[in-house]
Amino acid sequence: MNFDPFPWLTAIILFPIVAGLFIPLIPDKDGKTVRWFALVVGLIDFAAIIYAFYTGYDLNEPGLQLVESYTWIPDLDLKWSLAADGLSMPLIILTGFITTLAIMAAWPVTFKPKLFYFLMLAMYGGQIAVFAVQDMLLFFLVWELELVPVYLILSIWGGKKRLYAATKFILYTAGGSLFILVAALTMAFYGDTVTFDMAAIANKDFGLGLQLLLYAGFLIAYGVKLPIFPLHTWLPDAHGEATAPAHMLLAGILLKMGGYALIRMNAGMLPDAHVKFAPVLVILGIVNIIYAALTSFAQRNLKRKIAYSSISHMGFVLIGMASFTNLGLSGAILQMISHGLIGASLFFMVGATYDRTHTLMLDEMGGVGKQMKKVFAMWTACSLASLALPGMSGFVAELMVFVGFATSDAYSATFRVIVVLLAAVGVILTPIYLLSMLREIFYGEENPELVKSQALVDAEPREVFIIGSLLVPIIAIGLYPKAATQIYEATEAQLTTMLRGHVPALVAVAEPATVTIEPLVAEPAIAPAIDVAPEPTAITVEADVVDESLLVKPSEPLEPSDPDNPQIEF
Amino acid sequence: MESFLYDSAWLIPVLPLLGSAVVGLGLISFNQSTNRLRQINAAVIMTLLGVTVFMAFGLLWSQIQGHPAYNRSFEWAAAGDFHLTMGYIIDPLTAVMLVIVTTVALLVMLYTDGYMAHDAGYVRFYAYLSIFSASMLGLVISPNLVQIYIFWELVGMCSYLLIGFWYDRQAAADACQKAFVTNRVGDFGLLLGILGLYWATGSFEFEVIGDRLELLVSSGALAGGMAALFAILVFLGPVAKSAQFPLHVWLPDAMEGPTPISALIHAATMVAAGVFLVARMYPVFEQIPAAMTLIAWTGAATAFLGASIAITQNDIKKGLAYSTISQLGYMIMAMGAGAYTAGLFHLMTHAYFKAMLFLCSGSVIHGMEAVVGHNPILAQDMRLMGGLRKYMPVTATTFLIGNLAICGIPPFAGFWSKDEILGLSFAANPALWLVGWLTAGITAFYMFRMYFLTFEGEFRGEDKTIRAQLLAAAGEVGGDDGHDDHHDHKPHESPWTMALPLAILAIPSTLIGFVGVPWNNRFEALVHAPGEVVEMAAEAFDRTEFLIMGGSSVGIGLIGLTLASLMYWQKVIDPSAIAAKLPALYQFSLNKWYFDDIYDRVFVKGTRRLARQMLEIDYRVVDGAVNLTGLVTVVTGQGLKYFENGRAQFYALIVFAAVLGFVVVSSIG
């Protein structure tokens, strides 16, 4: 095998797993050495991630980079093929960051520490593998494999109903994964060549009917993970029973796998179906935002409340990826990164609170702010981040989705108005449930029973450090979003250009032959927003730099304009 | 020198931010040692803010000298062909706002040292004050709508943190949440409005939006109704932030925060941000008559509403809060009536005299606490005060000055600004003037009611029966049966750190009106609506008109003043008899027009009910379906195992039955 250039991605994935295998050999009775070992492994791997991307990744290059491909099973054309582009690279960094912090958050775990830290390290590699693999079959394998440690962590270290929750989780996700397998096999065997390579599959020309079927299958599989209403009910149960580090991984990274796969496969490989399905995604996004915000408000259990808030925030990812604008898609990706940080911090705080109060029911808390001032301050900061306070990352992401969708030229004006209006209702609902939660935990008179029975010690430096580490990028992105968006901008722009090439109305505008004033007359309100309509030359110019696989296929003629139906109507 | 000042103007919000960041980090990492340093923290924060005061005055001076507006920006976010810039703009409006905000903030910080001297959260309070100053200064230098929205929310966050500063008080806990959520309702509108305007015009810059909108509406590309809708949505933001009807309900409750906050945030600066935004958006509003009318009438309604409630309030801070609502109504009314300069002029004069009035009320509360203890129900109720002028001469004098200013008695500051508003609204619509004029009379009445109840007559603080009544009304049992740590029987004047800011604020409250006298309006020459040509004020000045308008507003003010003195000082008329004669009106005012009750029933309870129903659905229907699938699988699995009994005849029977079934079904079909 050729190790030049050094296979960084393989190393990053395998290092924590291999290191984890040595854990049983560590002489350790009380679990104090193991956790240091795991932390050091996590830090080294995170440093390797940063180094690899710093030296080997070109931000201006939209396509796949750091490509590695080794034939694994030649008969099946199964390859160990890894690569990163703008879509996966920020999520890989996020994974390294959150998982390392989760190991630190797991400090108090004393029950079976060796197994626990082994599973954490296995998760570390597994999660990165999901974001890095470029082979459909391999993707399915790692997607499934990464479920195992989660299941074990849930079912061994969880709360009272942990088995029910873990079983529900595994049934849901494994059930969803079936669709991935079926769809992946169909895509691989379709056409003349049998290939599992994602780029090659994306180049295949599926008929619209098949695309729609495949899309629906993927949507169910990834909709479970994101989660999308009504496939979300495993999440409150899983979260309700998990421990803090498992929470951080679930909310911080596992949910992002759903969003990542939706963008990479549904949008990236099945663009025509994506155009048809986009309004459905938007509506599901709205439902996610409002429905989950309301249920979160009514929840009395702290963990479940935050779990529902995660569902609510993921709605913005759906709306953003269905907007067919640079801004919207960029906002969707940023929302995933941002929620990874914010969700992890909130769930960490839930765990830290539970360690002290030993209850999750809001009715049994009250007035604890007096004794736990730092916990109170950190909770407030994380909640404000979650309710999209400007100056923090959540705001930027939501604003980008809002502006992106509002200016999207792929939908009729009425549809956009209604969607933006409803999504903005979330802006009102989010502070209601988050602030009343803070009020019930920290404000007011101290709850005498709680104060008497529990020792409410204030936060220790480790906890302050973890929250501080999460808040630094949250605030940094909030103050200067370009710092985050430029990481993935090139890939995002290429994807958006490709997707826009599949929207009939936009193609009609872009095609020089059919450029008349007509669409503008039909939709006068668009006329002033001149800069949103692509220049007629845009597509041809892009064609020089764009990765061939993602381009408008030459075999597929640009669809003629349909004067009666210039937009995706819904 | 001048260009250096403009180039480094970004420091104005950054310096206080730095101060709060340093102190905040100290608090979270070295809590005890930071808290022990106490006044050193305050000194650092005040020094940093002091620098911004100098910069603000420097910029104002340079703007008065006619320096052109200065704009600087950098790219903040970009995606595809979308570029969003942030930066700062220094024009006359900004310069004036900078001076107002920095000076009031600095004086409030000085005052805080005395007021919060014994509070455990002294250092935290300074950190919050500093971050608020940073956000507010960032707001006034914002060159575009998105940046305004960012700082708009940030000042809202500071307000939330500061109202809930004493978080162990239940009332404060409820109030801070109410303030934030009510403001979010306004921000919802503001966000939608910003999006709408961007969609229509492709810009976030005020003047660009104005120009393009005009073009679009006149060419028919955008329906006039749409433009009006966007403008009104944007206006929802100021409605919430400036506590306008119907979103005013949060401001009186916000008085649960410490008094310096009520002075700085909830009287002088943040609540005026709404007026500021309307001023910034003036190029847009100006060309939409429907929006202007709505703005004017919202303001007028609010002015009257606030005044009518203030009459019956007994809590000194609540009374001032309703008076703030009323005065903000005047400003908004002025904006809607096209009196751009007059509205901002009143913003400036009001900032100084209302900040002073609130600080006076804080001084009164501070003095009362020595007698009745640290219970806001007792310390803030005017029924327990009276005769305080003897004990607190500085506070009483400054309060009187503030009173004369707010009532529009010449030559105090409020007269000039209020007179200008009334004069210009008469020109716009006499009905508006009538509402404003009546409100002026009510204002004089309730403000002097407060003054007489607090500072004149006999001191009632020792009266046990009133105390017991108040505590009983508030639902507190026990009362002050000796566990209070106070020993005084008389209130005392506040320390110099509190008295000095009062004395300093009395100067602008008295004199600042003279920059805007109608025959030589220097304020208008500096701050005027974009694109408006200022006529030479001296030529436009009409002495007769000024005397009639000014005379009538002073007249009704004096009537209110006299009535108040007859009722609460000379005691010739018994106020309770009037209340008894008009029980419906009295209750209506006392219960704040029942707004809180209605909102609680409709919105608060309604949302709770809806949320609970959603959760039920989630639990029973959505999750129920999932669990049902599980159950069905188990049941059918259990059932099917009886079919698997290994007897070939039974399998043959099933096959036969199935074939028969197919035949029957297909023959029917």
- pLDDT tens digits along B417-465: 888 888 888 888 889 999 999 999 999 999 999 998 888 888 887 778 8
Cα dist from A302 to A109, A298, A347, A348, B72, whole Å: 21, 11, 10, 12, 45
Whether A316 is covered by a domain: the verdict is yes
A393 plus A530 within the same structural domain? no
Angle between helices B340-372 and B413-428 (to 10 degrees): 140
Question: Which of A362-366, A555-559, B140-144 has the highest mean predicted lDDT (pLDDT)?
Answer: B140-144
Which of these ranges, A26-35, A56-65, A216-225, B157-166, has the smallest mean pLDDT?
A26-35
Same domain, A458 and A552: no
Residues 188-207 of B with CB under 8 A from A: 188, 191-192, 195-196, 198-202
- Tell me, yes or no, if B153 comes closer than 8 A to chain A by beta carbon: yes
Which pLDDT belongs to residue B325?
93
Interface mutation target, options B185, B195, B197, chain A, most CBs of A under 10 Å:
B195
* ipTM of the predicted assembly exceeds 0.90: no
**At which residue do the structure tokens 């109410």 appear?**
B178
More reliable by pLDDT, A521 or B372: B372
* Residue A151 and residue A170 in contact, taking contact as beta carbons nearer than 8 Å: yes
In B, which residues are within 8 Å of A326 by CB distance?
79-82
Q: Look at residues A500, A518, A553 and tell me which one is the last residue of a structural domain.
A: A500
pLDDT over 60 at B303, yes or no: yes
Q: Is residue A537, in this structure, part of any structural domain at all?
A: yes
For residue B76, what are its two tokens?
């903040």
Q: Which two tokens stand for residue B208?
A: 């660009």
Q: Which of B150, B173, B184 sits opposite A443 (nearest CB)?
A: B173
pLDDT at res. A519 = 33
Question: With contacts defined as CB-CB under 8 Å, which chain A residues touch B191?
Answer: 402, 424, 427
For residue B330, name the pLDDT band (cuts at 50, 70, 90). Answer: very high
Contact A464 B81 (CB under 8 A): no
Q: Tell me, what's the pLDDT at A517?
A: 33
What is the rounded distance in angstroms from the CA atom of residue B304 to the CA atom of residue B366?
31
For the beta carbon of residue B62, count every other beta carbon within 10 angstroms.
18
Q: Quick one: pLDDT band at residue A100, thresholds 50, 70, 90? A: very high
Q: How many whole angstroms separate alpha carbon A435 and alpha carbon B250?
A: 15
8 Å CB contact of A464 and B82: no
What is the distance in angstroms between the CA of the first residue and the CA of the last residue of chain A?
53
Residue type, B467: R
The DSSP output letter for A516 is: -
Domain-located, residue A292: yes
A317 sits in which H/E element: helix A302-321
pLDDT at B517 over 90: no
Q: How far does B440 lie from chain A, in Å, by closest CA?
A: 36
* C-alpha R_g of chain A: 24
Give the pLDDT score at B32: 79
Which pLDDT band, with edges at 50, 70 and 90, does B154 fall under? very high
Query: What local confidence, expressed as pLDDT, does residue A334 receive?
Result: 93
d(CA B590, CA B594): 9
Pairing of strands B70-79, A78-84: unpaired
From A448, A466, A500, give the residue that closes a domain.
Answer: A500
Q: Are A422 and A287 in contact (CB under 8 A)?
A: no
- Segment B272-282, tens digit of pLDDT: 899 999 998 88
Mean pLDDT of B486-493: 72
- Of all residues in chain A, the percent with pLDDT exceeding 90 is 22
pLDDT band of A508, cuts 50, 70, 90 = low
Show residues of chain B in contact with A168, CB under 8 Å.
Answer: 626
Please tell me the predicted confidence (pLDDT) of residue A533: 39
The CB-based long-range contact list for A36-43 (8 Å cut-off, 24+ gap) reads A37/A117, A38/A103, A38/A117, A38/A120, A38/A121, A39/A100, A39/A103, A39/A104, A41/A15, A41/A16, A41/A121, A41/A124, A42/A16, A42/A96, A42/A99, A42/A100, A42/A103, A42/A121, A42/A124, A43/A100
Residue A67, helix vs strand vs coil: strand
Give pLDDT, residue A49: 92
With CA atoms as reference, report the closest residue to B192 among B252, B145, B259.
Answer: B145
A452 to chain B, closest Cα gap in Å: 17
Q: What is the pLDDT of residue A526?
A: 39
Interface of A with B in 218-257 (CB under 8 A): 229-230, 232-233
Find the mean pLDDT for residues B329-334.
92
Question: Which tokens sit at A427?
Answer: 């802006």
Mean pLDDT of A246-263: 89
- Report the percentage of chain B scoring pLDDT > 90: 26
DSSP β-bridge partners for residue B65: none
The answer to whether the Cα torsion of A333, A129, A219, A271 is positive or negative is: positive
**Confidence (pLDDT) at A556:** 39
Residue carrying structure tokens 């480790």: A462
B236 and A CB contact within 8 Å: no
Instruction: Find, among A553, A552, A549, the residue nearest to A198 by Cα.
Output: A549
> Cα B373–B374–B378 angle (5° rounding)?
70
**What is the helix (H) or strand (E) element at residue A99, kind and residue range?**
helix A88-105
Task: Answer yes or no: are the C-beta atoms of B105 and B135 closer than 8 Å.
Answer: no
Say whether both A564 and A459 belong to one domain.
no
What mean pLDDT do residues B463-482 have? 70
Q: Do B608 and A406 touch (CB under 8 A)?
A: no
What mean pLDDT is reported for chain A? 82
Indicate whether A515 and A474 sit together in one domain. no
**pLDDT value for B326:** 93
Cβ-based neighbours of A33, under 8 Å, separated by 6 or more: A26, A27
CA distances from B196 to A285, A328, B91, B183, B420 (A): 21, 16, 26, 20, 34
A467 contacts A349 by C-beta, under 8 angstroms:
yes
- Could you read off the pLDDT of B203-252 as tens digits, one per residue? 888 888 888 888 888 887 787 788 888 899 999 999 999 999 889 999 99
Q: How far is B203 from chain A (nearest CA, A)?
A: 9
Buried b (16+ CB within 10 A) or exposed e, B330-369: bbbbbbbbbbbbbbbbbbbbbbbbbbbbbbbbbbbbbbbb
Q: Which of A361-365, A375-379, A452-456, A505-509 has the highest mean pLDDT?
A: A375-379
Residue B78 near chain A (CB below 8 Å) = yes
| Strands A78-84, A65-73: pairing kind | antiparallel
State both tokens at A286.
Answer: 């709205």
pLDDT at B533: 61
Tell me: do A383 and A522 sit in the same domain.
no
**Separation in Å, CA of B131 to nearest CA in chain A:** 13
Give the integer Cα–Cα distance in Å for B113 and B115: 6
Domain for residue A465, yes or no?
A: yes
Q: Structure tokens of B669?
A: 């079909």
Query: Are B82 and A403 in contact (CB < 8 Å)?
Result: yes
pLDDT score, position A528: 41
**Domain check: are A165 and A38 in the same one?**
yes
> Do A481 and A383 sit in the same domain of this protein?
yes
Neighbours of B22 (CB within 10 A): 17
Q: Which residues pair with A80 in a beta bridge?
A: A70
pLDDT greater at residue B208 or residue B666: B208
Residues A442 and A311 in one domain: yes
C-alpha of B546 from chain center = 32
Give residue A275's domain range.
2-500
Cα A211 to chain centroid, rounded: 23
DSSP label at residue B602:
I
Residue identified by tokens 């705001």 is A395
Pairwise CB contact (< 8 Å): B168 & A496: no
Using pLDDT thresholds of 50, 70 and 90, give the confidence band for residue A131: very high
Residues A544, A427, single domain; the answer is no
Domain for residue A505, yes or no?
Answer: no
pLDDT at site B300: 93
Q: Which two tokens stand for residue A176?
A: 């969803």
* Other beta carbons less than 10 A from residue B669's beta carbon: 5
DSSP state of B535: P
Q: Which tops the pLDDT comparison, B278 or A367?
A: B278
Between the alpha carbon of residue A209 and those of residues A190, A214, A215, A504, the distances in Å are 13, 9, 10, 17
> How many domains is chain A built from?
2
B527-552 residue pLDDT tens: 877 766 665 555 566 788 888 888 88
Q: Is residue A289 domain-shared with residue A422, that is, in the same domain?
A: yes
Last residue of a domain, one of A465, A500, A535: A500
Beta strands in B55-155 (DSSP E): 70-79, 82-90
On the question of pLDDT at A174 being above 90, the answer is no
Distance CA A433, CA A439 (A): 10
Q: Which of A178, A180, A130 is nearest to A150 (CA)?
A: A130
Residue A83 lies in a domain: yes
pLDDT (0 to 100) of residue A549: 41
Average pLDDT score, chain B: 85
Amino acid A553: pLDDT: 39
Report pLDDT for A246: 87
Residue A306 sits in the same domain as residue A231 = yes
Same domain assignment for residues A490 and A517: no
Q: Residue written as tokens 């070109």?
A: A58
Cα-Cα end-to-end distance for chain B: 96
pLDDT in tens, A213-244: 899 999 999 998 888 888 888 888 888 788 88
